[in-house]
Amino acid sequence: MSQNAIKTQLTQIYVVNGPTVALEIGCVSNLTPGGSSRDQIDTTCLTDVEKTFENGLGNPGQDTFDIVFSPSDTSHQLMETMLQSGDKAQWYVGLSDGVAAPTVAASVITAPAARTGFVFTASVSDVSYAIPGNEVVRATVTLQRSGARAWTYKA
């Protein structure tokens, strides 16, 4: 393994749940952050033989994560509540090069300096459940980001 590689074990997802609370999402088993493509602004002139473009506004994508569902987990209950309300919240994904949790003041999340991760604002746009035979109940949570991700890197 490359000495700069980061393992996925110990990656954590937090969501702001009150003016001073960062709630960790329980038992996340997979995370897929979506992209953020930019619009293309056509700047082609009639005399051009190839189209030319400038970058336009970014289009925040969707992030998804899977959980091993537990009806007694407050964070899992919150996903359904957020889906129904449509409310946006700030989120933090902390990678495994640290274990520090983010802090929250006045409902604004602050990433820890001792960990690489990213902060973003999103609403829960879907929660879908899988209930297969001879397995556990799982759920896939889809987040619609609003704005860009803000990366922070371990100091």
Provide the residue ranges of all domains of the chain, joining segments of one domain with +. 12-152
HEC string of 54-107? Answer: EEEEECCCEEEEEEECCCCCHHHHHHHHHHHHCCEEEEEEECCCCCCCCEEECC
Q: What is the pLDDT, as a whole number, of residue 1?
A: 52
Determine the Cα–Cα distance for residues 31 and 147; give it in Å rounded to an integer.
19
Q: What is the pLDDT, as a whole number, of residue 152?
A: 96
Task: Quickly count: other Cβ atoms within 10 Å of residue 62's Cβ.
Answer: 15
Indicate if the alpha-carbon torsion angle 120, 116, 11, 71 is positive or negative.
negative
Instruction: Give pLDDT tens digits along the chain (155 positions).
Output: 557 888 999 999 999 999 999 999 999 999 999 888 899 999 999 999 999 999 999 999 999 999 999 999 999 999 999 999 999 999 999 999 999 999 999 999 999 999 999 999 999 999 999 999 999 999 999 999 999 999 999 98
How much is the pTM? 0.90
Q: What is the pLDDT, as a whole number, of residue 36?
A: 85
Q: What is the pLDDT, as a whole number, of residue 2?
A: 59
CATH tag for 12-152 (out of 1.10.260, 3.30.70, 2.60.120, 4.10.410): 4.10.410
Q: What is the pLDDT, as a whole number, of residue 84?
A: 97
